[in-house]
A and B are shown apart, each in its own frame.
Chain A
Amino acid sequence: MKNMAENHVLSIKDLTVFRGAAKILDRVTLALGQGETLALVGESGAGKSTIATAIMRLLENARVTGSATLAGEGDLLTLSERKMVKLRGRRLSMIFQDAGTALNPSYTVGRQLGTSLQRIHELSKADARKQAIELFTSVGINDPEGRMSAFPHQLSGGMQQRVMVAIALAGSPDLLLADEPTSALDVTIQAQIVRLILQLTRERGASCVFVLHDLALASQACDRIVVLYAGQVVESGPARDVLERHRHPYTKQLKSCVLEIGAKDLVAPEGTVPSHDQMPNGCRFSTRCPRAVARCAGEAPPLVPARQTATGPLDHHIACWNPE
């Protein structure tokens, strides 16, 4: 990739994650500029959450190689745990995919948010409470004062998700990792929360990595899109290039599965992702790809510029031997 330069807030190079013999992530490379938003999309099990969790250094029982450089801090993968404790919640923060299990069931949600606020901003208890109520209001929690004393199980799934967003935003991070922050929410609240995340991150010039399943939402919220299949980046680039001028057969398949309102035709792709002990050595999509050619199964395609223009290669990359 060109200009992996200083102006990148986050730059991931050849991130590879093993769990036992299984290679869960394979040489994932991506970069994020200051103020940019990026969407990770792809089949479930593709490794999206693993990328986010690896950046937070919260992966357990895994062997990690490669690098993930945060501007001004160096390679997050090699920092001391003490340093990481300082960074989490302040410079980088994560909204977890499963709000129900990420919240502590034995404390009220008000206390969980209040404690983060007190820790990060060194506030008094009363000020933390005031700010907690403000944050609850800004993420659209009705009756914010009353909900301060609610335990997680007393809230609907969507409301738990909003609490998670409020906690992640408490420290005003430079880099926010949002793992499906809205998949449990109705579309009006979803739009409201995504707007809120974008607004709060933009105000501070912060950057944001979203994990999203909804490609239309990704096009609305994100500058760049990275498509993953079975732990490998198969296509990446500006949202329009990836969603409208994609060249990778898997991206095309993903796009064809999007259901727009009123659509009655849907062709489901054949097959499933191979299990890790049966993963082909070459292109991991080759067991399902309609365009597969002889070399695909045995030889892994490198991530290369998707097209050339008069001014040189574009920042749009694919990994495919026989692109569309």
Chain B
Amino acid sequence: MIAQTLSETKAPLSEQSIFELIEVEQVFEVPKPGRSLFSRETVGLRALDGVRLNIRKGTSLAVVGESGSGKSTLLRVLLGLDKPTGGRALYHSKPILEGRASGIDFARDVAMVYQDARGSLDPRMTIGALIAEPLRHFNIVPPQDEAARVSQLLDRVGLPADAADRYPSGLSGGQVRRVAIARALASEPSVLVADEAVSGLDVSTQAQLLILLQSLQRDMGLTLIFITHDLGVASFLCAEIAIMYLGRIVETGPTDAVLGAPSHPYSAALRAAAPQFFEPLSEPLSGEIPSPLNLPAGCRFSTRCPKMQDDCRLKDPQLGKLGPQRAVACLHPLEQQ
């Protein structure tokens, strides 16, 4: 069963979605806690544990959630960098890895902006050469038009044309992020995946990049998948949101609806913890943060959930429909007015 959460139309799911994740699992074998020095005993760490997600073409999706909940792992699966250990991960209805292996189309169509923008750029190459690299690799323009396209891309991301001759070390953090975005856009992708592309930037530089990303998404019909910890950024940039907790998506839906009236108790805690001017810092959730090596029985949020009831320790709630556009993985979702 696929929870068809993010849209409701008559067309079959496969025709409108770019990505479909069906019960995706990603288990890492890690050293068993407390094992002796020379033992090779391992245990499975369930970084993704039954992820269901359907990403429509042209949408903008924010992925938020607890650190360590599996957001970066999810992106690696979407990009075909890692093969999930269970479930199915589809790109245009075909397994992502098949698409990736079958040629350069996937790599060209799905571009990535890494969180560590500086680390992802070769410091010995000029900005111009860094942007020309994907142009050449994917054969985007004939060689004589390359320079013109590079300056077009620089302009698109708000960098001066003379930046082409500089090296990454000569650019500020915000400028380096712009280069990373320009490079990602060079292959004319239809999907842009970004892991905390604006976190750690000051609010003015962040505002410039967000407006850039918003216009790219609107004008070029780009599908945007955006990991962020900042709910203000999520609500500004992304029409839809997926909230993760310990390896599972626990709530999805339109960003404003979800943040305006969260239905999963974890989403509500997240919303309440967002910084607000001169309010007291939010109270932390009480209870143990469970280990991904040893998930609690029943609902994975039950050790910290303020709404926990007896059956929560027995049943593991799956992501299921809640109204036409939303879905939640909770046995006792919060009341919606």
Contact = CB atoms under 8 A, between A and B. Distances in A.
Interface string A206-221: 0000000111110111
Interface in B100-137: 115-116
Interface residues of B, number: 63
A188 B232 contact: no
Interface string A184-205: 1111111110110010000000
Interface stretch (B3-11, B78-86, B168-176): B168-176
A43 B204 CA distance: 7
B148 interface: no
Q: How large is the interface on A (under 10, 10 to 19, 20 to 34, 35 or more residues)?
A: 35 or more
Contact of B203 (A190, A194, A195, A254): A254
A243 B203 CA distance: 14
A151 B274 CA distance: 30
Contacts, number: 182
A323 B243 CA distance: 43
Contacts of A145: 33-34
Interface stretch (B89-97, B275-283, B306-314, B322-330): B275-283
Interface in B198-217: 199-208, 210-211
Interface in B268-303: 269-271, 273-282, 284-285, 288-294
Given A220-B277, A239-B278, 13 more contacts: A43-B205, A46-B202, A140-B284, A141-B289, A142-B68, A146-B33, A157-B72, A186-B270, A198-B281, A220-B276, A253-B204, A257-B206, A258-B232
Interface of B: 30-31, 33-34, 64-69, 72, 115-116, 170, 172-175, 196, 199-208, 210-211, 229-233, 235-236, 256, 259-260, 269-271, 273-282, 284-285, 288-294
Interface of A: 41-46, 97, 100, 140-143, 145-146, 149-150, 154-159, 161, 180, 183-192, 194-195, 198, 213-217, 219-221, 239-240, 243, 253-254, 257-264, 266-269, 272-273, 275
Q: Which 3 A-B pairs have the closest CB atoms?
A: A158-B67, A146-B33, A143-B291
14 contacts: A44-B172, A45-B172, A142-B68, A142-B290, A145-B34, A146-B293, A158-B68, A186-B69, A188-B273, A190-B275, A239-B278, A259-B203, A261-B274, A269-B204
